[in-house]
Amino acid sequence: MVRLFYFMILCLLVTSKLGAQANIFFDELRHYELNNAAKSIGNLPEEARAQATWRVNFFKDFKIESDQFRSLKSIDKPADNSLGDYLYHLNWGDYYFYITLDQNIKAMGEYQQALAIASRDNDKVLIGEALKRILTLHRIHYLYNNQTYKPYLEDFKANAYDELEEAYYHYFNLILNFKNYNTEAWSSQSYTFLKNYFKNQNSPYVRGISETVFASYFEEVDQRDSIWHYALSARDQLNSIPYGYKGTRLNQIYSFMSRIALQEKNFSAAKVYTDSATANYYNSNDLKFKSLGHYQKSVIDSAAGNYLQAYDESMNFRVSMAAIERAAQNNLFNELEVKYQTAEKEKQLLLSEQEKKKTQNIAIGLGGSVIAVVIIGILFIKNTKRKQRIAEQQRELEIQKTEKILKEQELTTIDAMIEGQEKERKRLASDLHDSVGATLAAAKLQFHHLSKNREQGEFTDALFSKTGKLLEDAYAEIRGMAHVKNNGVIAKNGLLPAVHKLANSASGANGLTITVEDYGLEERLDNTLEISVFRIIQELVTNIIKHSQATEASISINQYEDSLNIIVEDNGKGFDARHLPQKEGMGLSSIEKRIEHLEGTMEVDTTLGKGTNILIDIPL
C-alpha cells in the first residue's frame, strides 16, 4: 500500500492525456504483480481493455505455441494515438519479436510507433516501457561495435522517474556495453548502484537479469567464486517469479551454468543444469537456446560414453544452427536501424527549415499595406504551393534513394554472409578430415589388429593401451575444434615434433613402421606454413594407412636456403598413376590444391607392386 501511495503521487508528476490509471497498470506489470494488474484493467478506457488483457495474459503464460498469439489478431486496432493504440503497437512488437525468427525489423517498427505515441504527450511511464522493448531488441540482435542503441539508452536515462527505472537503466548500460565487448566501458557506477539497490528492494526479475550479466562479466575476468555466486543467485531470483515470462531468462542462466560446469569438467552438474532447462528449451521459439542445449547434451553424453545419443544431439545442433543462419540472412536489424535514424534526422531538419522560411514570409506579409498584403498573400500562396510540390518531390527522391541504399545493403550483406558460411563449412570439413580422420583411421587398424591378437597377453595389453590413446587423441581433437582452439602441438613445439608424434601414433597399425628424417630444420618456420605442411604430411600418412598395405614408410623433411623439400615413401602396393581419380575429394587432389596455394610443386612416382614415392617442393 505504501508503494502504491507513493506511486500515485508520482503519477501526478508524470501523467499525461493517456491517464494516471495507465501508469498504475504499467506499475503493476513492472513489479510482476499481475493479478493486481488484471484488476486495474477495468479502470482503463474501454478501447484499451482488450489490449491490456492480452498483455497480462502474455506475461502470465508466455507459451509460444498457445492460442495467445493467434488471439491478438482478433483484436481490432483502437483509435489513433490512444492508450489502446499504444498497447496495440507494443503487443504486436512483442508478437514479431517472440513468435518469429526473422521479423525483428517489424518488431522495431511497432515499438517505434508506441514510443511516438508516448513521446507526443511526454508520458515518462509509457516512454520507459517502449524504450525497454527497443533496448531489449538491441540486446538480443546486435553487431560488434555497433552504437545504434546509445540514443535510446540516453533517452531512457533522461526519462527514468523512480529507482526501479534507474535500476533498469543501469542494467541496460552494463549489458549493452558487455555485448559490444567494451570492457573498459563496464561501468563501476552501474554495478555499484545495482548491488546497493538489491540490498533494499525486492525486484526478482531485474535482480535475476542483472546478476546474469554480473556472472558473465566475472567469467571474462576468471573469478570462479563470483561466477557461481551470481549465477546461483540469478537462478533463485528468477525461479521465485510465478509466471511464464521468466522462461527465456531461465534458459539463459541454466545454459550459462551448464557451460561453466563443462569448463570445469563437472559433467554431472552440467547435466543437471541442462536437464533443468530442457522444458524451457522446447517451449521456446528461441533457436539459439535450443541449439546451445543440443551442443551441451552432446558433450555430456560423449563424456558419459553415450556416443550414439551424443551423435544424435550433435546432428540436432547442426540442424538448429542451419536454421539460425537462414534467419540471420533476413535480419538486417542493425544496418536498417542506422539508416532509420539518419533518415529521421534528415526529415526533421527539412521540416525545421521549411517552418523557418514560412514564418519569415508571414512576417514580411504582415508588415506591408493592405494592398501589399493582398499582393504578397497571393504570391505567398503560389510560392507555398510551389515549395510544397518541390518538398514533396524531394521527399520522394529521398525515399527512393533510401530504398535503393537499403536494397543494395541487403544484397551485399546476404552475399557476404553466404560466402563466409561457405568458407567456414569448407574449412571445418577439411580440418575434420585431415586431423581427426588420420587418428581414427589408425585407431581402426589398431582395433582390427587387436581383434586378431586378443589372446596374446602383454602384447594385447599394449594394443589396448595404444588404441585407447588414439581414441583419446581423437576426442581431444574434436573437442579442441569445438572451442576454436585447435592449433595442436604445432603451435607449441613446431613442425618436426608434430611429425614425429604423427609417425609414432601411426606406427604399429597392421605392422606398419614409419621413420622420420630431417635436415636443416634448426629454426621454426612461419606458423601458418608449418600447419599447412603438417596437414599435407598427415593426409599422405592417412593414405598410406588406408590404401597402401605397406609395412615400412619414411618421411624426409629437408630445409634449404630458399625451399622446403618433403619426400614421403612407402613399400606398399602402389597404384597406376595414369588413372588417378579426377573428382574433387580428400585425396591427392586436395593435397595438390594445398601445395598450389603455397606455390609449390608435387611429383608422384609409383608403380603397381613397388610402392609409392611423393616429392614436394615448397618455396620459402
Average pLDDT, the chain: 76
Q: Is residue 457 part of a domain?
A: no
Q: Could you give the CA distance from residue 472 to residue 540 in angstroms, rounded to a whole number?
A: 22
Q: Would you state the cell numbers that stand for residue 412, as one nine-digit string?
A: 551485399
* Contact predicate 228/269, CB 8 Å: no
> CA-to-CA distance for 200 and 574, rounded, in angstroms?
80
CATH of the domain at 562: 3.30.565.10
- Report which listed range, 13-22, 384-393, 442-451, is most confident: 384-393
Residues 356 and 312 in one domain: no
Q: Look at residue 120 and tell me if it is in a domain.
A: yes
CATH number of domain containing 231: 1.25.40
User: Could you say which of 386, 405, 425 is where a domain stops?
Assistant: 425
Residue with cell 492480452: 54
Residue 108, CA distances (Å) to 26, 97, 114, 435 in order: 20, 8, 10, 45
User: Which domain-ending residue is among 141, 162, 188?
Assistant: 141
Q: What angle do CA 454, 457, 460 make, to 5 degrees?
A: 45
What is the domain count for the chain?
Answer: 4
Q: Which of 171, 106, 102 is nearest to 136 (CA)?
A: 171
Quick one: 129 and 214 in the same domain? no
Q: pTM of the prediction?
A: 0.51
**pLDDT tens-digit series, residues 486-500:** 444 455 577 888 888
Q: Are residues 129 and 3 in the same domain?
A: yes
pLDDT at site 524: 82
Domain C-terminal end among 91, 120, 141: 141
Quick one: 348 and 323 in the same domain? Answer: no
Which regions of 536-580 does DSSP assign to beta strands (E)? Answer: 552-559, 563-570
Residue 61 counted as domain residue: yes
Q: Are residues 552 and 499 in the same domain?
A: yes
- Residue 153 CA to residue 128 CA, distance in Å, equals 10
Whether 108 and 28 map to the same domain: the answer is yes
pLDDT-above-90 percentage for the chain: 16
Contact 174, 190 (CB under 8 A): yes
pLDDT single digits (tens) 479-488 = 766 554 444 4
pLDDT of residue 556: 94
Q: What is the pLDDT of residue 388?
A: 82
Which three cell numbers, joined as nine digits, stand for 114? 508506441
C-alpha–C-alpha distance, residues 599 and 501, integer Å: 27
> Which pLDDT score is estimated for 58?
82
pLDDT at 193 over 60: yes
Together in a domain, 314 and 365: no
Q: Same domain for 416 and 525?
A: no
Between helices 163-179 and 188-200, what is the axis angle to 10°?
140
155: confidence class by pLDDT, cuts 50, 70, 90:
very high
CA distance 514 to 508: 9
430 occurs within a structural domain:
no
Q: pLDDT at position 249, please? A: 84
pLDDT band at 185 (very low <50, low <70, confident <90, very high): low
One domain for residues 11 and 129: yes
Whether 1 and 137 share a structural domain: yes
Q: Is residue 223 part of a domain?
A: yes
Residues 340, 326 share a domain: no
Q: Are residues 618 and 502 in the same domain?
A: yes
Does the residue 179 lie in any domain? no
The verdict on residue 466 lying in a domain is no
Residue 600, pLDDT above cutoff 90: yes
Cell numbers 509509457 correspond to 126
Q: Is the pLDDT of residue 245 over 50?
A: yes
What is the model's pLDDT at position 63? Answer: 63
Q: Is residue 520 part of a domain?
A: yes
pLDDT at residue 34 is higher than 90: no
Range of the domain at 213: 202-331
Burial 49-66 (b: 16+ CB within 10 A, else e): bbbbbbbbbbbbebebee
